[in-house]
Structure 1
Amino acid sequence: MDIKAQLKKAREAINKKDYKKAVDICKDVLNEDKNNYIALVFLGLSIQETIPNNARTRETEKAFRKAIEIDSDNLLAWNGLANYFEKFDTAEAKLELIKIYAFIIGKETNEKKVIDYCEKLCALYKYTNVEDICRVIYNKVETGNLSETALACSRSSLASILKETNELSQDILVVYEDVLSHLISNTMTVTPDYYSQYLLVLYRLRKLDLLVNHTLQMYKMYPEDITSMNWICKMYNELCIENKVSFISSFTNIEEVYEKLLLLEPQNTMGLFTKALCDVKNENFLDAKKYLRNIVAVRSGLIHAWVLLTRVNLSLHCYNDASESAMFVCKLMQSPKCTFDDTLKLEVHKLYLEALSRSPEIADWENAIDHYLTLDEKYKPDCLPYYIRANINSDNITEAEKWIKCLEDSTQSNSDLIGNFMAQLLRKQQKHKEAFGCFTKRKNPKFRMVS
């Protein structure tokens, strides 16, 4: 048998859509040479184009897989197998396609086909681990000798599926950052959406310096875009609350930004938050509180807003409100997603203890004592005055005296503060004359913590 001539006839039959004839020819060839790769590929192709039934379905897959066993690097059979499974709309078929597409992408050199299979693989992201898909495509982007057009298409495909995924590992976030960095650096691919994704990734990676710089750059590129203004306000808000140096206000008029944002979107959370911050700086605490209460009602997980609300409540001497908002911050700080450093966490504990210890409610004094006792040891020295005040209020005279003595002996000793505490203790014991004597000895009556 002239196998080459027979395979030529099989190809002609396939081109004429005479699949039955092609099947017969291929089977004859395989009877002569059971490992003939081309005959197996033509057989699989021809069988799947005939009227399907279970037996023929199994025979089609069997032919393609047999060809792959013979020559796994040849993509003809892989493409045939992909075409075969694409005809089935089942989860099992999708999982098979994911494996097939991943292999083809790794081997394919034709750019058009690479782009096509990358798009097909990304379309199946809901059926598998997105990170596995990401690694397949990113490896091709990094190691394949692709044109800028192909690279841009592949990166766009990656960005589209990573955007839909909330939880990503650190190494994939780094990949995501690199992908978006290229997309926003290219004038042909940069968009407000890609830029916003990029800022979000930098935020999740806590690359704050880079984040601030690119936030300003995005605003410069898209000054009228809501997303751009939203990011400016977001970064300004968080950096202010975290007491970190912010260059944003040096390069932009933050009031103009939030005013433009609220004009376009009156209930924008970040815009209202920035307005509240500006109100606080102008000591307009009542308006700030109104905005902040509305913000946390809509975004209860916005921890920075809760911190500012607590500060505002204390400034207004609304101690019950302050303790409630501070308690909420303490709960949110327990999340592994909380990015507060120890300095800000300490401030939150101090705000909470100040609110509780200044409250007129006995239960709040008890809560202050309990909260202090459960604190991490590193926070206790700075929070000790609030613990002492709560004990004085609760008539725990012995405990208060003990810790006043410790405070007096510590490196953080404050004669004005200690005199204040001693006066309160004496007053509790009805020793008003002695208490008055403590007040008259105070050198600095401006200490804020104890009144």
Structure 2
Amino acid sequence: MSSKEVKTALKSARDAIRNKEYKEALKHCKTVLKQEKNNYNAWVFIGVAAAELEQPDQAQGAYKKAAELEPEQLLAWQGLASLYEKCNQVNAKDDLPGVYQKLLDLYESADRQKWCDVCKKLVALYHQEKKHLEVARTWHRLIKTRQEDGADRQELYELWRKLSQLLAENIEDQNNETQQMLLTAFENALDLADNIPSEDHQVLYRNFIQCLSKFPHETTKLKKACEEMIAIYPTVQYPLEVICLYLIDSGSLTSEGHQYCCKLVEMNSKSGPGLIGLGIIALQDKKYEDAVRHLTEGLKESPVCIAGWCHLAEAQVKMHRPKEAILSCNQALKTIDNFGASGGNLHQKNLCLRLKAEALLKLSDGASSEEAVRTLDQVSDVDNTPGLLVLQGLACLNTGAVDKATKIMEDLVTSYPDLAEAHALEGRVHFTKKDYVQAEVSFQRALEKDAEVAEYHYQLGLTYRFMGE
């Protein structure tokens, strides 16, 4: 078979494919392959015809053979891509990313538009398979290419916004590189936005803040983004709510935070974060009734605010409402268990357990004191926290373990001689042992360290009463 006859047979195969005579095309290709077993076009035409005849395995084999023969030619790779896109076989889905990658290499210098089209298909595939890092890197490469090609501001804005949408799912499962690319996508989209203020811009800012709120290490950016959105959209509650909750959870509710909370409550009298913030400020100012009222109302609207429950329990303890404080602590602990006790939640859990133990001890009965002991056993690092050791000593006293309470007290007074609570515990131990003279000395020392605690005055008065008897 001469070279001319090979060309004629290939032309006949091409014509047969155009006429949808796929079996006829296969015959012509086989004729060519008998003469030239490594003929690239013949293998490609077999791939096309076999695919149309719904023979995917034969089509795949033909395209792969052609790609092996001429790896830098487009047709075979294009055919494989088309075949895999229509095929549901597992190996096809596994092989498709590699085919797209090869097409990207071939199109990069030859056809930039087709390069972009394939790039988007590859990203869609990675996104479907939840390969977040690959999505981020590939789409970032697309943006860089469009920048080099002179894309206008609006197109680049749309590309960055699309990347933020692609990466906004399953944020917690992403690695640090992907998360940083997500933040970069939001920042660039916001920087390129022209229509400000607008509904689209507001939604973009809201999504950015929502994303930042899921990154504990990005609190500075979160605060900055909230403040910037508040400046642009002063009547929108969302950024105010987020910054208030951030300040509440971080324990840094300053005068600036007070202003945010007041503004929120002005905009919405039932704003959970606003009311909780006002309650915490009232607690700091020792306005306990206002604190309980605001916190209770706020937690009706924002019941998963752990810090809110902790502060409500603290206010209730201050107001000598131990049973209510225990209920508040239990609600906080339940919420922590639902969200997982890690990082900041672990600190809140320890605080809540401490408040619960303190409330239980105020009930004075044996069962409550025993529960206080069990509660304190759940606190991490109890042995290195003097306030917790004081509670542990009181719990031991209430349950009759006087020797253990004495040992805790002696260690505390030695290690923390300026701690009023240590001397108050010392007084309680002496009082229990009916050594009223020593109890008087200890309570007086406690009052020297902190004269504002009513309990110390009460205990000293009780000591004098028993001394008189």
When normalised by structure 1's length, the TM-score is: 0.78
Q: 1:15 to 1:384 in 2, by over 3 A?
A: same
Partner of 1:137: 138
**d(CA) in 2 for partners of 1:337, 1:370:** 18
Partner of 1:182: 188
**d(CA) in 1 for partners of 2:142, 2:439:** 77
Partner of 2:465: none
**d(CA) in 2 for partners of 1:352, 1:327:** 8
Equivalent positions of 1:14-413 (< 5 A) are 14-15=17-18, 17-50=20-53, 52=54, 56-89=55-88, 93-105=92-104, 108-109=107-108, 110-124=111-125, 128-131=129-132, 133-134=134-135, 137-138=138-139, 140-141=141-142, 144=145, 146=147, 147=149, 148=151, 155-166=160-171, 167-187=173-193, 191-203=201-213, 204=215, 206-225=217-236, 229-244=237-252, 249=257, 253-260=260-267, 262=268, 271-282=271-282, 283=287, 284-295=290-301, 297=303, 299=304, 302-326=305-329, 329=332, 332=336, 338-340=342-344, 347-348=351-352, 350-373=354-377, 375-376=380-381, 379-413=384-418
**d(CA) in 2 for partners of 1:40, 1:104:** 18
Q: 1:380 to 1:286 in 2, by over 3 A?
A: closer
Q: 1:440 to 1:125 in 2, by over 3 A?
A: same
Q: Does the 8 Å CA contact 1:272/1:291 hold for their aligned counterparts?
A: yes
Q: CA deviation at 1:246?
A: 6.2
Equivalent positions of 1:423-438 (< 5 A) are 423-430=427-434, 435=439
**d(CA) in 2 for partners of 1:191, 1:65:** 47
Q: Does the 8 Å CA contact 1:85/1:93 hold for their aligned counterparts?
A: yes
**d(CA) in 1 for partners of 2:399, 2:93:** 67
Pick which of 97-106 and 33-42 moved more. Answer: 97-106
**d(CA) in 2 for partners of 1:379, 1:327:** 24
Q: CA deviation at 1:403?
A: 2.2
Partner of 2:425: 421
Q: Does the 8 Å CA contact 1:407/1:413 hold for their aligned counterparts?
A: no
Q: Aligned partner of 1:88: which letter? A: C
Pick which of 341-350 and 19-28 moved more. Answer: 341-350
Q: Does the 8 Å CA contact 2:317/2:359 hold for their aligned counterparts?
A: yes
* Runs of 5+ consecutive residues of structure 2 not aligned to the other structure: 459-469
Q: Deviations over 1:348-379 (max 9, x none)?
A: 45434423333334333234334445632674
Partner of 2:467: none
**d(CA) in 2 for partners of 1:240, 1:328:** 17
Q: CA deviation at 1:157?
A: 4.5
Q: 1:216 to 1:85 in 2, by over 3 A?
A: same
Q: CA deviation at 1:4?
A: 5.1
Q: Does the 8 Å CA contact 2:168/2:211 hold for their aligned counterparts?
A: no
Q: Deviations over 1:243-277 (max 9, x none)?
A: 23769649x744333543x48xx6xxxx4122222
Q: Which has the higher helix share?
A: 2
Q: Aligned partner of 2:262: which letter? A: E
Q: CA deviation at 1:176?
A: 1.9
Q: CA deviation at 1:160?
A: 2.9
Q: Does the 8 Å CA contact 2:423/2:442 hold for their aligned counterparts?
A: yes
Q: 1:205 to 1:5 in 2, by over 3 A?
A: farther
When normalised by structure 2's length, the TM-score is: 0.75
**d(CA) in 2 for partners of 1:248, 1:115:** 48
Q: Does the 8 Å CA contact 1:273/1:291 hold for their aligned counterparts?
A: no
Q: CA deviation at 1:410?
A: 1.9
**d(CA) in 2 for partners of 1:449, 1:437:** 15
1:445 aligns with 2:447: no
Q: 1:399 to 1:125 in 2, by over 3 A?
A: same
Q: Secondary structure at the match of 1:86?
A: helix
Computing the radius of gyration over CA atoms, which structure comes out larger, 1 or 2? 2
Q: Does the 8 Å CA contact 2:279/2:295 hold for their aligned counterparts?
A: no
Q: CA deviation at 1:213?
A: 0.8
**d(CA) in 2 for partners of 1:379, 1:342:** 16
Partner of 2:464: none
* Runs of 5+ consecutive residues of structure 1 not aligned to the other structure: none
Q: Aligned partner of 1:69: which letter? A: E
**d(CA) in 2 for partners of 1:32, 1:448:** 107
**d(CA) in 2 for partners of 1:127, 1:391:** 59
Q: 1:317 to 1:77 in 2, by over 3 A?
A: farther
Q: CA deviation at 1:173?
A: 1.4
Q: Does the 8 Å CA contact 1:422/1:435 hold for their aligned counterparts?
A: yes
**d(CA) in 2 for partners of 1:158, 1:429:** 71
Q: CA deviation at 1:212?
A: 0.9
**d(CA) in 2 for partners of 1:291, 1:101:** 57
Percent identity over the alignment is 20
**d(CA) in 2 for partners of 1:12, 1:106:** 30
Q: CA deviation at 1:15?
A: 4.5
Q: Aligned partner of 1:392: which letter? A: L
Q: Does the 8 Å CA contact 1:68/1:77 hold for their aligned counterparts?
A: yes
Q: Does the 8 Å CA contact 1:115/1:153 hold for their aligned counterparts?
A: no
The CA RMSD measured in Å over matched residues stands at 3.9
Q: How many residues align?
A: 432
Q: Aligned partner of 1:202: which letter? A: L
Q: CA deviation at 1:159?
A: 3.0
Q: Aligned partner of 1:191: which letter? A: H
Q: CA deviation at 1:342?
A: 8.6
